[in-house]
Structures are given as C-alpha cells and as structure tokens.
Amino acid sequence: MLPPARHFAPLHFLHPNRQQIAGAALLLALIASPAMAQDQAQSPPSFEDQVPQPSAEAEQTSTLPEPSLPAPGEQVSFEADGATYNDKTQELKVFGNVVLRQKGQSVRADAVTWDRTSGLIVAEGNVRFVDTEGNQLFTERLELSDEFKAGAMQDLLIVLREGGRLAARQGQRGADGKIELSQAAYTACAVEDSTGCPREPSWRITAKRVVYDPEAKTVRFYGSRIELFGIALLPLPPITLATDGRPISGLLIPDVQLSASNGVQLSETWYQRIGPNRDLSVTGYVFSKALPMISAQYKQLTGTGAFQVTGYATRSSRIPIGGVPASSQKDFRGYFYGNGKFQFTPNWGLTFSARLTSDRTFLRRYDISRDDRLRSTAELERIDNNSYFSVSGWATQTLRVNDVQGQVPFAIPVLDYRRRLDDPLLGGRVQLQVNTMAVTRSTGQDTQRGFASAQWDLRRLTPFGVELSVTGLVRGDIYHSDENALTSTASYRGNPGWQSRGVATIAFDAKYPLVGSLWGGTQVLTPRFQVVASPTLRNLAVPNEDARAIDLEDSNLFALNRFPGYDRVEDGVRFTYGIDWQFERPGWRVHSTIGQSYRLTVLPTLLPDGTGLSERTSDVVGRTEIRYQNFIQFTHRFRLDKDNFAIRRNEFDAAIGSQSTYLEVGYLRLNRDVGGGIEDLKDREELRVAGRVAFAGNWSFFGSGVFDLTGISDDPTLVGVDGFQPIRTRLGVAYQDDCLEFDVTWRRDYVTTGDARQGNIFQIHIAFRNLGF
C-alpha cells in the first residue's frame, strides 16, 4: 500500500501554464489506453521482465483519496511527496508517489519532470496508468513533447481489463494518435501462479510490429507467430483484437478432423460483427473424399428477445437407405436449424425451434448430430398469477431407418387454457382447463380431440401432523378420427368418426411425516396411503395419441392418472401405499421411496401385461438417491415383479469424483415381457460410461462409450446381435488452463447407414482465450 500522500498546491499555483501540465497527464492517458495484440519479433520481451501487475485492490485500497474529477482539458488532480522548480533551467520536477488523476483515469510514477526549455516531459520509475475502462499500462520511462504530438515508451507492459497482457521493448505515439510498438508479445494467460511466482504462459503471440488505435480501441499485429508451450509454430496472418473485450470481425481458429466418410476435413470460420446486437459466422469445409460444404449462423438480440438461424449446404453422393454404393447419386444436401425466444410483455411470450434436413444420413455423415429425429415446435404463451394460455404446434422429421415419414404425426394446433380459482366454501383450489389438439399424418390416421375439465384440490393438516389431501376431477372429451385402420397397433386406433367420453375421478391422499435424529443428522420417515376411484370408462373407443409409453415407475406411483397424456385414463378403484425416507447430515443426503398399488376390480384393463399395472396387485417400484457433497451422486430405480421378485426394471446413474477427475456410469435393463404388438414398450439393455483422469496439472485423459446390451431374448425381432454392440466410443487427451483448451479425440461409429459409414474419426481442437485471426 502507498504511504499517506502529502498534498501540494494545485497546478495553477506552481506555474501559470497549468493547462500544459494538464495536457501532459491527458496524453499519458491516451498513450496508456490498453491494447490487445500479437506478432513475432526477433527478440520479444518476456512477461516476467516487465513491471509486475499490482493486486486488483491496490488502486482502491490506497490511502490516497479519490477527488471529484474535472472534465477533460480542465485541471488535473495532482499529488506527490515533493516538488521542485528550477528558475534557471525552467525545469519542474515532482517526485515521491506522484499521482495524476483526471476523469476516472490515473497516472502513478516515482517522478515526473517537465523541461520547459526543451519541451520534454518525462515520467520515470514504476509508471502505471489506469484508464476509465480498467486497463493498465506499466513502463519504466515515458517521454512526451510539449505539443503532445509524439511520445516514447520503453520496456512497457499493458494489462487489459479482459485479462490479456501486451509487453513491448519500445513504443512510439504518432501524430495521428496511433501507437506503434516494436518487438512485442501478447498472451491472455496469467504470468503468475497462485503463490505469486512467475510462470511461463502456455501460449503467446510474438510480433515484429503492433499498431494500437486508441479511438477504435483495436490492436493489430504484423509479422506475428504463435508459440505453444514455448514452441514456435507457423506464422500467422494479420491479427486484430479489441481492447475492450468486444467481439470483432475476423477469422477464428480452424478445426481439423479425419473421418471414414469424408477423409481429411479442414474447417475455417469467418466471424462478422454486424452490430452490437447481431453477428454472422460463415464456415467453409474442405474434404479429401467429398465436395466442399458451407455453413452459416446468424444471431441477433432484439429488444424483446433473441433468435438464431443456422444452415448447411453441399452437393455430395447420397446412398439411399438400404442401397449400395453403385446406386449413389449426387444431390443437393443440407440442414436448417433455427430457434428463438421473445418476451413481448410480462405475460406474453413466444418460443420456437425448427429443424429440417435434406435426408436421413446427412447429419451423421458430416458429424453434425446423432439425433434420430428432428423436432420443430412453436408456442405462444400467456402466463399470469392465476391463468395460463398457449397455442402451439409440433412436427417431427424421422431419421430412423425403418420409420415411414408419412406415419409420423404433426400436431397443429394445440390449444391449452387453464384458470385457477379459490374455493369460497371449503377453502380449496379449483382449476378449470380447456384443451384441443389436431394430429395429422400424410399416410396415416388423423385425430382431433377436445376436452373441458374442472379439478378441485383441498389440503389440510390434522392436529396429529397428518397431511390430508382430497382431489376431485370431472372431464368431458370429444374425439373425431379417420383412417384408423392405418394404425398398426389395434389398442391405439379407437373407433372412427365422432366419439365422446366422460371422466370422473376422486382421490384421497394421506401422509404422516415422522421426524427424528439419526447418526448425527436428521431423518424423516413418511408413510403414505392413497385411494383413487373412477367409473368404468370408454377408453378403447377413443384414439390413443399421447398416452402410449405407459410403465409403472416411482414418478407416477401416486399420480392421479398413471398414463402419460390425456387419451387414456386409468379407471376402477385402487389403493396405493408406500414409504418415503429421507436422511440428512452435513455433507450427506439420502432419499429413498418404495411403493405398490392394489386394484379392487378383477376385470381386464387396458394396461398391457408387463407394465406392472395390468393385474390387481401391481409390481413394487422404488428409487434411492445418495449424495455426498459434490463428490458422490448415485440414483437407483427399480421395479420388482410382484410374484417372484424378478427385476423388471433396473436402472442406475452414478457419478464419483471432482470436475477434473471423475467417473460416470449409467445402466438400464428393462425386462418387462410386454407383448410384441406394443412397439413403444420393447425390452432393452444399455450401458453408458464416461470418465476423465487429470494428470500433470492441466492435462487429462478422457473417454466415453455407449453399448447396446440388448439380446435376442429381449427383442426377438433383432437379427445378428450378440448382446454386446458398441454404439459410440470416444477416447482422447486434453489440456486446459485459464487461457488455452487443446484436445485430440478419437471416436468410432459402429453402424453404417447409407453414406454415413462406420469407422474411426480423429479430431484436433484448439481454442485460445481472447484470440481470433
């Protein structure tokens, strides 16, 4: 910390020409305006040789007061430990913790001398300038003429607000206000470790010449070369950086990739800053085994929201699904993606997303996406404290090999309105809902649906601590459908033409939380019991579009309707019982639940065998979550057969480790024995593994894999499977610090689909902080 300042008279007291000294301080500010840059010099400076950066708090914690600052061109605040003026030599000198302040800027030095005879102004010794944006300049000596048209600096260091550092042997300010540096080096890396000791940056740019434009707030490098881990790489084209951290137009770092489908791939992106709220990125791709491809992405921020659109286009050989190379044909191929969100008023908002590709293998071949379907949606919403209204639409493009696009539905429009009201009689809450949906297929069943419902909820606590809830629901549905025979699963079709259905449900729910201490922490044991009753409904008379993937899980065990969606409603009377247990102590959290349900009716239900719900007594389901700080996370879900306790669902996700070294494992086994006619409920087994091991500080090995363990015993329709089929695997090595990301990755795809071939993919990716070409 600087010692307490001794304040001397203002400049006008020292000499009548106070404006010239004020101008000198202002010119110091102009020269010190920060710059970000890079380029190669024959003898570039070392960042460790420059003046070290003081602590971020130094400027604020100094005992020097912060005066009210005058406007530019006016009096400059002046502080020093001492001052002398020689009448014979016409030399003014101030020394000892010299501080000049003006309009949010400050200059500190050991001494400042003004020779009025020669017109030379010199600041010497630990010169430090801080501009209005927080950028800092350090140098040992700064020279200025009395006309302030030119200046010289030696052994200077510029510390930018965005974290970059620019060091140079010499600097000169020209008459046009631009500053030219020679033998310069730039890096965005920290040059000190956590203990304050010097360290070599992982990368830097050396340059023969650097030009800083203080008006445009840009730095441009000439004759530059990048050094990575001390090794000089190829020369670079001219580079321009912004000193205030804003994006500017220019080339980005290229990517290199090798794949079985396209050979060697080199991609380069031009970033165009169109305005403060919008930009455009155009990327060119060159392949050794395919014609070039181009992509573009446009992003814009508006006063009410933001949106972006992305497009890919090329012309290449496309092998039809199931075809052979001889049948390939060259077509235009591409992909479009756009999304956005707008909030017009506090209540009204719009969200949309659109995805469309020219064919089913384009995204896989060019390593853009591994999705097997592309969803497009738009939704206009109005939300307030007690009501909700939305108009939405959904469309899906399938990329699955055996799916028929004409059988894939699109839903336009979907309308939903809900209104909450207070119950003036019993103190409960009433929710009214109106919903409509139209599902259309080009070569399949079409369905239109509408319903209106009213739901009443009441919750009370007894003097003994029991939480009681009562729910009542009434609903009226109307459906219209045609071409029903085109739906392959009979239970999904419903009757053609107009159909109606009435729904009435009442439910009672009781919870009794018991709180106590355990193992130095707190446990809560909550028995729960529920009764739900509905009359027999005309479920099979109406189509099923949104309630197909039914399966008993812990998440829907106590749901009012355990079918997803609205088209199927569980009828009859059932009792559901279960126990929740929660334990917490410092660092630990354990939550477990288990439950089962029992139906009174013995009549067959619309619930398929194997879902755990088709018989009077359901299967047993549960979930356990264990968490220890941020080091261990474990979740296990299960379903046990009620008759022999066979595991019908076994799923767990586990993660252990820190951000730098960790292991993640996911496993799913569905052994439901559902009939072959239900395509949405097939059995399967899958393993997912991912991990990273850090070593040598900033280096790490990483890998991941997805493996299909489904065998013929699980799905008899499969052909040529052995119960272990890798889907995707990845291995790589990476380096990451505060300013550099670098990784080399190997991936392998094991399935050939059309022109998206199985094989190895090698990729090199590198990213520098605060650096683009």
DSSP string, 263-308: EEEEEEEEEEEEETTEEEEEEEEEESSS--EEEEEEEEE-SSEEEE
- Residues recorded for the chain: 773
> What percent of the chain has pLDDT above 90?
43
Give Cα separations from 188 to 241, 251, 717 (angstroms).
Answer: 12, 18, 57
Lowest mean pLDDT among 133-142, 485-494, 561-570: 133-142
Residue 480's DSSP bridge partners are: 448, 498
Q: Do 192 and 66 meet the contact criterion of CB atoms below 8 Å apart?
A: no
| pLDDT greater than 70 at residue 52 | no
Q: How buried is 276 (Cβ within 10 angstroms: 0-12 exposed, 13-18 middle, 19+ buried)?
A: exposed
* pLDDT band for position 604 (cuts 50, 70, 90): low
Per-residue confidence at 144, pLDDT binned at 50, 70, 90? low
Sign of the CA dihedral running 549, 550, 552, 555: positive
**Is 179:203 a contact under the CB 8 Å cutoff?**
no
* DSSP state letter for 360: S
Q: Copy the structure tokens of residue 7.
A: 């304040």
The pLDDT of residue 100 is 75
Q: What pLDDT shows up at residue 39?
A: 34
* Max Cα distance, the chain (Å): 117
Q: Residue 121's pLDDT is what?
A: 76
pLDDT classification of 491: cutoffs 50, 70, 90: confident
> Which pLDDT band holds residue 69 (cuts at 50, 70, 90)?
very low
Helix (H, G, I), strand (E, B) or coil at 391: strand
pLDDT at 260: 84
Question: One-letter amino acid identity for 226?
Answer: I
CB-CB contact of 451 with 420 (8 Å)? no
pLDDT > 80? residue 36: no
497 vs 121, more confident: 497
**pLDDT confidence tier of residue 458, bands split at 50, 70 and 90:** very high
Q: What is the mean pLDDT of residues 524-553?
A: 92
Contact partners, residue 102, CB within 8 Å, separation at least 6: 22, 25, 26, 29, 69, 70, 72, 76, 77
- For the cut 50, the answer to whether the pLDDT of residue 270 exceeds it is yes
Chain segment 723-757, per-residue pLDDT in tens: 788 888 999 999 988 888 889 999 888 877 777 77
Q: What is the pLDDT of residue 46?
A: 57
Residue entry with tokens 């919870």: 511
Say how many CA atoms lie within 13 Å of 592 toward its Cβ.
11
What is the sign of the dihedral through the CA atoms of 458, 459, 460 and 466?
Answer: positive
Judged on CB neighbours under 10 Å (0-12, 13-18, 19+), 86 is: exposed
Q: What is residue 716's predicted lDDT score, i.e. its pLDDT?
A: 58
Mean pLDDT score, 42-54: 49
Q: Amino acid identity of 17?
A: N
- The DSSP-derived string for 392-409 is EEEEEEE--TT--GGGS-
Residue type, 435: N
Question: Which element (helix H / strand E) includes 664?
Answer: strand 662-670
Please report the pLDDT score of residue 47 as a whole number. Answer: 56
Average pLDDT over residues 650-672: 92
Return the pLDDT at 420: 95
Burial class (CB in 10 A: 0-12, 13-18, 19+), 248: middle
- State yes or no: pLDDT of 181 exceeds 70: yes
20's enclosing H/E stretch is helix 18-32
**C-alpha to C-alpha distance for 588 and 583, rounded to whole angstroms:** 8
Give the model confidence (pLDDT) of 187-224 as tens digits: 888 787 777 788 888 888 899 889 888 778 788 888 88
Task: List the structure tokens of 444.
Answer: 């399949």
Mean pLDDT of 23-35: 34
Mean per-residue pLDDT for 425-430? 88
Question: Is 637's pLDDT higher than 50?
Answer: yes
Q: What is the mean pLDDT of the chain?
A: 82
> Which DSSP helix (H) or strand (E) runs through 487?
none
Query: Comparing 108-122, 253-267, 475-489, 616-630, which segment has the lowest mean pLDDT?
Result: 108-122
Across the range 694-719, mean pLDDT stands at 81
pLDDT the model gives residue 680: 58
- Higher-confidence position of 151 and 517: 517
d(CA 232, CA 210): 18
CA-CA distance, 653 to 634, in Å (whole number)?
A: 6
Where would I find the H helices in 70-144? none
| 225 pLDDT above the threshold of 60 | yes
Question: Which amino acid, one-letter code, is at 274?
Answer: I
What is the distance between the alpha carbons of residues 609 and 475, in angstroms, rounded to a whole number?
27
Cβ-contact 622, 593 below 8 angstroms = yes
Per residue in 354-401, pLDDT (tens digit) is: 999 999 889 988 989 988 899 999 999 999 999 999 999 999 999 988
Is residue 103 left, alpha or beta, with left meaning phi > 0 and alpha meaning psi from -120 to 50? Answer: left
What is residue 701's predicted lDDT score, i.e. its pLDDT? 96
* pLDDT value at residue 283: 96
